[in-house]
């Protein structure tokens, strides 16, 4: 039983990194809905994020992209995983650059950067054919 579990974990190591990315995206969106805007709005949000879209729309995007990535992982769809990795990395890169340019040093900068790199690496693996899963017919 443990050998099968260990083999599954080794075969799905990148899957787990993408799973954590989907959890991060959903958690950021849910956190934004649960915490009052006055507490969460910082200068980096006002100068960067809010110039493009309203705050609640950003929260919805985080939740939707996180759910999409979670569902693509659940069904082991390479096309879905590729699209989800692209969307997640784009959103996380935007967040990283937004905080770096408009904000000040914040610990979330490291997390956003790491998870954007995880998604870019997943996208690289999928587009280069390194992933071994096949789409169901």
Q: What is the pLDDT of residue 134?
A: 45
45/67 Cα distance (integer angstroms): 23
Contact 78, 131 (CB under 8 A): yes
Q: What would the two tokens of residue 35 be?
A: 């915490």
pLDDT, tens digit (0-9, with 9 covering 90-100), for 89-102: 998 898 888 877 77
Q: What would the two tokens of residue 26 be?
A: 């959903």
Q: Which residue has the tokens 């790199």?
A: 117
Q: Which helix (H) or strand (E) holds 78?
A: helix 78-102
User: Would you write out the chain's pLDDT as a tens digit for each of its 137 residues?
Assistant: 556 655 655 555 667 788 888 998 999 888 878 877 666 555 556 566 667 777 788 889 999 999 999 998 888 778 888 899 999 999 889 888 887 777 777 777 888 888 899 899 888 888 887 665 544 43
Spatial neighbors of 117 by CB under 8 A, at least 6 apart, are none
pLDDT, tens digit (0-9, with 9 covering 90-100), for 117-135: 989 988 888 888 766 554 4
Average pLDDT, the chain: 78
* Other residues' Cβ atoms within 10 Å of the Cβ of residue 83: 17
pTM above 0.85, yes or no: no
The DSSP call for residue 11 is: H
Q: What is the pLDDT of residue 87?
A: 93
């Amino acid at each position: 039983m443990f050998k099968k579990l260990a083999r599954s974990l080794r075969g799905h190591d990148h899957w787990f990194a993408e799973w954590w990315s989907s959890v991060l995206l959903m958690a950021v969106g849910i956190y934004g809905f649960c915490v009052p805007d006055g507490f969460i709005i910082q200068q980096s949000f006002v100068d960067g994020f809010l110039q493009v879209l309203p705050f609640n729309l950003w929260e919805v995007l985080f939740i939707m992209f996180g759910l999409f990535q979670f569902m693509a992982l659940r069904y082991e769809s390479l096309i879905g995983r590729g699209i989800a990795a692209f969307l997640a990395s784009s959103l996380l890169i935007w967040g990283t650059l937004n905080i770096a340019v408009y904000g000040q040093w914040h610990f979330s900068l490291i997390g956003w950067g790491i998870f954007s790199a995880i998604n870019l690496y997943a996208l690289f693996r999928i587009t280069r054919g390194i992933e071994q899963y096949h789409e169901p017919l």
